[in-house]
Amino acid sequence: MRTKKVKAPPKKFEYLLYISKAHDELKKKDYISFRFETTKEFLTFQYILKMDFRQEDNNLFFNILGFSAPIGDLSRSGTAGTEYRLYDFKNTEYCIIVDKKDSDKSKFKLFIQRSKLEPVKVSHVSKKSFIEIKSQNDS
């Protein structure tokens, strides 16, 4: 008798996006970090998430292209991810659009503030989003 293969329950989101404000000691500049990560864990490799970025005024566009295998001899399991750093930002409102292989699109607003308590604030997140957005203020 064959046993049935157990599938993990589907996840609500395919990706996580962590947004935070940080300081680069080498460049001596503040930056906004956009760290993308899959919710799925890969058993063979910890893949690199390939992404295109472009900026038009206060609109930031992230296009998720797919995955690439890591370069190196040792393989290890884990989620796929990448980070984009925005150095020349203004303390203002940005519209963020995240595309996934020209099929799904998620939009939200990002407020960058001078406040130390809440330097980045996320709002107007799409209801049917494939990505969960977390700022450094979220616990």
In the predicted structure, residue 75 carries a pLDDT above the cut 90: no
Give the model's pLDDT for residue 114.
83
What tokens appear for 8 in the block?
């993990």
What does the buried/exposed string (b/e) look like for 53-79 if buried means 16 or more CB atoms within 10 Å of the residue's CB?
A: eeeeeeebebbbeeeeeeeeeeeeeeb
The rounded distance, in Å, linking the Cα atoms of 18 and 20 is: 7
- Per-domain boundaries in the chain: 15-135
Give the model's pLDDT for residue 41.
85
Q: Tell me: the pLDDT tens digits for 93-126? A: 999 999 987 678 899 999 998 877 788 888 888 7
Q: Tell me: the pLDDT tens digits for 19-54? A: 999 999 999 999 999 999 999 888 877 788 999 999
The rounded distance, in Å, linking the Cα atoms of 109 and 96 is: 6
* Beta strand segments in 77-129, E: 78-86, 93-100, 104-112, 120-123
**Model's pTM, two decimal places?**
0.84
